[in-house]
Structure 1
Amino acid sequence: MYLQSELIPELNLAVTADSIHRSDIDYAIEHCVFVSLNTFSTDKIELYHFTCHHFSDISECIIFVKNQTKKAVLLVAHTDDDSILRLHELPQIYFIYLYLCSDRLVSTYYPKKIRGNFTVSDKLETLVTEDLDLYAKQLLYIMSISIVSDHLNTEHIQFVYFQLVIDIILDMPQTDAAKEETISEYRLHYKEHRQIHSTDFYETHTAIDWYMQNNSVYRIINEAFHTEDTNTLFNFRYFINDLHNEIRKSHTRFVATLPVEQDHLMVYRGQLMTINDLQKLKANIDGFISINSFLITTRLLNTARTYAGDSSNQLLYNVVSVIFEIDIDMCNNVKKPFANLNSNDKNEIIFSIGAVFKIHSVTLLTDNLWSVRLSYGKNADMELDASIEEHYMNIMGESVHKLTFGTYLSILDEFDKAQQYHKLLLSTTNDNK
């Protein structure tokens, strides 16, 4: 039985970030929906510009939550019956905050979702703030990836799509107009940078350092791939090109420093990964994984282990800790360059955007840590190119070409992607005038 509304203190959350970096909180807020059930608050729960959705009917609440396909749901609930179980099982709900409920509910259900049972709103809003900060930090380091088998089919459109989108962006000329669009896009995403001018921007030769020191740039690019936002990628083309070209220049210098007899280089990447992505990797041994962003790795296995962490202690319940072990073939040229980062003591290697790796194995190292063995080299590029070519020829009757790819998407009923792709091609034409 629910308590009567007049017996429940007003719940009014105004989450602040006095002691937490605001951009982290804002980043989390963009990926979350805040929902309250039977809290009987007379005011809306406010998180900066973020408004809570209130429900008194659990069925309506469930329908709303199920429709949240791209955002995590944070739920504040007041109930003393088992109806919370119906919400607890929904994968869209990441965190549940019980308000003036029976302690029995806290001990009955999965502790990672039930964050606590609160009697005063001050403690609740403090934990929500901390959770948003941790959620942002964990979400930030989950890469945008595309995975395909060694035989492409129509289910792998996204993989080819992003490879061609990246190629188009990297073919665009560097113009003053492109630079201004990148600055405008940067201002748009981060209000604290709205006063930035061309003279305050990075210099071309410092593009790598700027990327390494500026998490917000990584967020913009990674999020654009996660949401298939080609407009943002296009607007950020000036920086993407600069960073790619600087990595290419550094690649030549880096390779020249290695012993002539060294034909392989091992690097590692420790991070969190969604269980869904891990299952895709396991199902596509001998297939390929594309990293839809710039990838930073290390030559030190222990450093990678530190970054991978222990998923049993993570805030997100649907992630696992993973170490990518990447064997680089140094004997052949590759499509996407990589370079050593000399600015720190982590022995880091950065790969340019869209690097493709061959998947060799996925194994469980410990109860909470997985190992994914990949290789990087010309042979993998050639295998993938041949597979893409065969698939495209079967559909279009001709070789892959960026001018016909939009038609290919339309044939496969991917009309939204086709429209975005044609818009990108048109922008390319305008840039080259």
Structure 2
Amino acid sequence: MNNNNTTITPSEVIQTRRWMVQNCSVLWLDECMDETCKDYQNILTRLKTITDNINIFKQRDTCIDYLTDAQEDIKSFLVVKGSMSQQIMSLINDIPQLHGVYIYNDTEILHEVWTKKWQKIKSIRTNIDDLCQRLQVGIRQYHRDSIAISFITVHQIASMNNLNQLEPTFMYTKIFKEILLKMKPNSQTIKDFITYCRQNNSGSPKNIDKFEKEYQAQSAIWWYTYPSFIYSMLNYALRSMEGDTIINMGFFIHDLHQQIQQLHQQQLSSYHDKPFIVYRGQGLSKANFEKLQKTKGGLMSFNNFLSTSTEQNIALGLAYSVSEDLDMVGILFIISIDPCIKSAPFASIKEVSYFKEEEEILFSMHTVFRVGAIKQVDNNNQLYQVELQLTSDDDEQLRLLTDQIRKEVGGTGWQRLGDLLLKIGQLNKAEELYNVLLEQTSDKSEKAIYYNQLGYVYSTLGDYGNAISYYEQGLKIQQKILPSNHPNLATTYNNIGSVHDNMAEYSKALSFHEKALEIEQKTLSSNHPDLATTYNNIGLVYLNIGEYSKALSFYEKALEIRKKTLSSNHLELAVLYSNIGGVYNSMKEYSKAFLFHEKALQIRQKILPSDHPSLATSYNNIGGVYNNMKDYPKALSFYEKAFEIRQKTLPSNHPSLATSYNNMAKMYYNMKDYSKALSYLERALDIFQQE
């Protein structure tokens, strides 16, 4: 048995990894395989030069089970003997996790008509070296096509009063890059990374050992281009915004950026200040291509490190090969570069790359371009050329966008990244990041911050028990290290109070909010935004216990402060309008209720993406007013809009989903459609019973 633990031999049980840090794997299926045979060892050795992640199967059904059980964003490349391919293609061609099939047929070429029938067949070769070469090209092309790209339209730039409309990866990599450039890697960070790789089976033991022994900061580019776990691990982590891997690879990303920057400085004189062109051929999904078309004149960022070539024919060939896939559009990027631009380092890496024969220009991560002309190539609606121009710090729109991101995302270091994830609604990613940070720090004040942020994550996810637990752990630390009237204590009291309110524990909620108010009235100015938050929270409790006049009084105090300190389209105003609308609805003053709920909805529709949970709240509230007015069809229409958003964005057991089911059930009951009413009530009950 091969003792390489990234190779799954037929006698082993396939183990699920704690976290798959590579985004593709090679599967080798051969029912006649003989592990003692020289040919077997030769093929395995050749495959290992391409990837660390090799999975070997003797049985067809076991291989198919592996494919269908894999995560959908982990793509597999299957190497299979010709005779077996004819048995298996009809069973696997439509499996989404399968990216391509490479057939090794050492005796004869398979019939062309049969091979063209199956889209997933990428190559057929009688020579294993030729096949492995095609496989290597296929894997590199897949990595190239799966790079994270963000598109920012002219319209989005023009309405930059809120970041929620921007693609999360754009902001994520922007903040992440700023954090990394301020880092000072040390030998311990590399040791931590090696430990992480071994614990997660990130690569073969041989390559992890090699990295441990040989890695130096000046070899970062070589390791990035070397066919091992580093390249795919990094690209997958940046594409999926996977915090744990990104933190552990932070030193490498820092070193890679620094080496590109150093080479850029060394090579600057060779450009003679003359602009030049580089090329990149890759595939885009049809959805991303539509985004690209809408971005003409806007900005586009490659959120990983970007590989380009000075040779147009090579890039065009790659774009052509992708265009044969009906689900993709082949793109030839024609990129204009002004070498005088210093804000986006790039360099020729020919002398330091593993692939020294390639004329490659490598750009640092999160390089931003302006999108120019988009033209069809050779009347092929699957192939386009797109002109890009490198932006500089002097680009006014990019500068404004960057300033807005920095303004809205506070904190320092990794905490900035977590705060950004919370702001853009990436709750699971934020939870993952804060747990990693919590494990790594011994600083009490930092622990208090991370406990509070985790409390917020769980509260938003509807897991109120965990939310209280984390908030209380943070509070215990704060009570030990902060004065009794510190504003941070007021924030935590407010957070705990809000969770108790969500749990219908109103007396506890009011008690915590009043503790917060007592501190804030002593320490803050009368127009401070935190006071508005506390007034709003107290108003919500009074609304829930039916004391509407008190609720309205506190909401109006909050609104008075907010109007003085915020723009007329700020989301915080939408929250207050929504809450005041709720009070008027409960007081049966429906025209006033509509007025305030409509104000809230208009702000949210201007600022938020169409599937944001806050829009669901507005739709649900308006549905509630129609319900009270006994206009059940209109109420149902708004409840359904709320449900559609919640179903997309919330966990399947979230209390808000149960509320939606319950609301729709009531409407169907009132409309005498009892079977639908019962169906929705049962779904609501299923969720409530899980709490």
- Whether these two folds match at TM > 0.5 is yes
**Separation in structure 1 between the aligned mates of residue 315 and residue 164 of structure 2, nearest angstrom:** 34
TM superposition shift of 1:353: 1.9
Structure 1 residues 80-125: Cα deviation after superposition (integer angstroms, max 9, x where no partner): xxxx79x97776665699xxxxxxxx87995314799xxxxxx9xx
The alignment status of 1:339 with 2:364, answered yes or no, reads no
Structure 1 residues 395-430: Cα deviation after superposition (integer angstroms, max 9, x where no partner): xxx466554553453354421122234356668877
Structure 1 residues 292-324: Cα deviation after superposition (integer angstroms, max 9, x where no partner): 3222222332343344443356xx553343221
TM superposition shift of 1:351: 0.9
Unmatched 5+ residue regions in structure 1?
A: 1-10, 35-42, 56-60, 98-105, 117-122
Contact 1:73 1:95 in 2 (8 A): yes
Alignment of 1:193-212 (within 5 A): 193-196=207-210, 198=212, 200-212=213-225
Q: CA RMSD in A?
A: 4.8
Alignment of 1:25-424 (within 5 A): 44-45=59-60, 51-53=62-64, 68=72, 71=75, 111-113=118-120, 135-150=138-153, 151=156, 153-154=164-165, 156-185=167-196, 188-196=202-210, 198=212, 200-214=213-227, 216-260=229-273, 262=274, 264-311=275-322, 317-334=326-343, 336-343=344-351, 344=356, 346-366=358-378, 367=380, 369-378=383-392, 382-387=396-401, 389-390=403-404, 398=408, 402=412, 403=415, 406-423=418-435
Contact 1:143 1:291 in 2 (8 A): no
Structure 1 residues 132-169: Cα deviation after superposition (integer angstroms, max 9, x where no partner): 76653432332412212231543512321122223323
SS at the partner of 1:297?
strand
SS at the partner of 1:246?
helix
Contact 2:271 2:339 in 1 (8 A): no
Contact 1:326 1:373 in 2 (8 A): yes
Q: Please report the TM-score for the alignment, with normalisation by the length of structure 1.
A: 0.67
TM superposition shift of 1:177: 0.4
Letter in 2 for 1:321: G
Q: Please report the TM-score for the alignment, with normalisation by the length of structure 2.
A: 0.45
| Matching residue of 2:577 | none
Letter in 1 for 2:60: I
Q: Which has the higher helix share?
A: 2
Letter in 2 for 1:377: T
Per mean C-alpha deviation after superposition, the further-off stretch among 284-293 and 134-143 is: 134-143
**Separation in structure 2 between the aligned mates of residue 111 and residue 258 of structure 1, nearest angstrom:** 47
Per mean C-alpha deviation after superposition, the further-off stretch among 227-236 and 17-26 is: 17-26
**Separation in structure 2 between the aligned mates of residue 72 and residue 134 of structure 1, nearest angstrom:** 14
Structure 1 residues 17-61: Cα deviation after superposition (integer angstroms, max 9, x where no partner): 74373247766768xxx9xxxxxxxx8538xxxx43559xxxxx9
Aligned residues: 378
SS at the partner of 1:371?
strand
**Separation in structure 1 between the aligned mates of residue 249 and residue 152 of structure 2, nearest angstrom:** 30
Contact 1:286 1:360 in 2 (8 A): yes
Letter in 1 for 2:303: N
Contact 1:358 1:375 in 2 (8 A): yes
Per mean C-alpha deviation after superposition, the further-off stretch among 160-169 and 337-346 is: 337-346
Contact 1:270 1:307 in 2 (8 A): yes
Change (3 A) 1:425 1:311: same
**Separation in structure 2 between the aligned mates of residue 283 and residue 17 of structure 1, nearest angstrom:** 51
Change (3 A) 1:162 1:90: same
TM superposition shift of 1:129: 9.2
SS at the partner of 2:209?
coil
**Separation in structure 1 between the aligned mates of residue 340 and residue 50 of structure 2, nearest angstrom:** 45
Q: Choose between structure 1 and 2 for higher RCO, CA contacts under 8 A separated by at least 6 residues.
A: 1
SS at the partner of 2:145?
coil
Letter in 1 for 2:280: R
Contact 1:17 1:129 in 2 (8 A): no
**Separation in structure 1 between the aligned mates of residue 373 and residue 46 of structure 2, nearest angstrom:** 38
Letter in 1 for 2:347: A
**Separation in structure 2 between the aligned mates of residue 340 and residue 176 of structure 1, nearest angstrom:** 28
**Separation in structure 2 between the aligned mates of residue 172 and residue 222 of structure 1, nearest angstrom:** 20
SS at the partner of 1:160?
helix
Change (3 A) 1:129 1:268: closer
